[in-house]
Structure 1
């Protein structure tokens, strides 16, 4: 699980330029989220990594389809 969290944060830090406080906050949130997935039975490091990155992108609004220009039409 820790390997997945480290990989998530390495990748996420490459995507966004944030302060160390923001990075620490993101690490705490994603650790809690990945722990929940792990406790539910997910053991695949790659899946945990993808889910964690998706979770962080949703938190920061990076996956907002309206902001990306998709209107659903």
Structure 2
């Protein structure tokens, strides 16, 4: 799990140029989320990485299709 968290944070920090405090907060949130996934039985580090990145992107709103300009028309 630690390797997945490190990969998530490296990638997330590249995507968002955030402060150290924001990065620490994101790390705490993604660690709690991944702990839940591991306890539920997920063991694949690649899948954990993708799930963790998706989770952080949803939290910060950067995964919002409306903000990205997709209206469905």
* Residues in 2 aligned to 1:37 and 1:72: alpha-carbon distance in whole angstroms: 32
Aligned positions of 1:42-61 closer than 5 A: 42-61=42-61
Note the residue ranges of structure 2 that are not aligned, 5 or more in a row.
Answer: none
* Residues in 1 aligned to 2:63 and 2:20: alpha-carbon distance in whole angstroms: 22
State the SS of the aligned residue for 2:37. Answer: helix
Moved over 2 A (4+): none
* Residues in 1 aligned to 2:62 and 2:4: alpha-carbon distance in whole angstroms: 20
Note the residue ranges of structure 1 that are not aligned, 5 or more in a row.
Answer: none
Aligned positions of 1:10-29 closer than 5 A: 10-29=10-29
Residues matched between the structures, number: 73
State the SS of the aligned residue for 2:43. Answer: coil
1:39 alignment counterpart: 39
How far did 1:72 drift? 1.5
How far did 1:50 drift? 0.2
Q: Deviations over 1:13-60 (max 9, x none)?
A: 011111100000000000000000000000000000000000000000
TM-score (norm 1): 0.98
